[in-house]
């Protein structure tokens, strides 16, 4: 296993367009997280899946954002009607856990979104 994989690595889009990012977690990991990181800041939590169920969403996740994890494997994060403020690095992480017991979260290399 090569770790958490994210695609694409970079995306430039025009304001108002829709974009979709993909994350492939480590294969045996049941938990998957999306974070957003803007310049000069630490990553901020967006949403969390356990298997296919989306269990937690941050207030940062506006109505224009939607995430899915069909069949509990890969996940997609879609941003509709992108705005310049959406420009950021989008990070995916995965871990293996039950209840409060959890392995460390392994991060992908991120997708850098630039909205022009």
Residues that bind another protein (CB under 8 A): 4, 6, 31, 33, 35, 40-45, 48, 50, 55-56, 91, 93, 95, 97, 99-100, 102, 104-110, 112
Q: How far is the CB of 13 from another protein (least distance, A)?
A: 18
Reported as type and span, the H/E element at residue 111 is: strand 111-115
The answer to whether residues 75 and 64 touch, using CB atoms and an 8 Å cutoff, is no
> Please, which residue, 33 or 65, has the CB nearer to another protein?
33
CA distance 15 to 26: 33
By beta-carbon proximity to another protein, the closer residue of 60 and 80 is 60
CB 102, min distance to another protein, A: 4
Please give, one letter per residue, the 3-state secondary structure of 68-97: ECHHHCCEEEEECCCCHHHCEEEEEEEECE
- Tell me whether residue 18 or residue 41 sits nearer to another protein (CB atom): 41
Measured from the CB atom, the residue of 35 and 115 that comes closer to another protein is 35
Residue pair 35/93 in contact by the 8 Å Cβ criterion: yes
Shortest Cβ 9–another protein spacing (Å): 8
Q: Are the C-beta atoms of 5 and 24 separated by less than 8 Å?
A: yes
């Amino acid at each position: 296993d090569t770790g958490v994989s994210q695609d694409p690595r970079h995306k430039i889009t025009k304001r108002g367009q829709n974009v979709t990012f993909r994350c492939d977690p480590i294969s045996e990991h049941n938990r998957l997280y999306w974070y957003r990181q803007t310049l000069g800041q630490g990553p901020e939590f967006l949403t969390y899946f356990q298997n296919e169920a989306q269990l937690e969403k941050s207030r940062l996740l506006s109505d224009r954002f939607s995430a899915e994890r069909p069949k509990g494997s890969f996940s997609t994060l879609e941003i509709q009607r992108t705005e310049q403020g959406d420009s950021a690095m989008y990070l995916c992480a995965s871990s293996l856990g039950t209840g409060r017991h959890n392995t460390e979260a392994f991060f992908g290399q991120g997708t850098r979104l630039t909205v022009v």
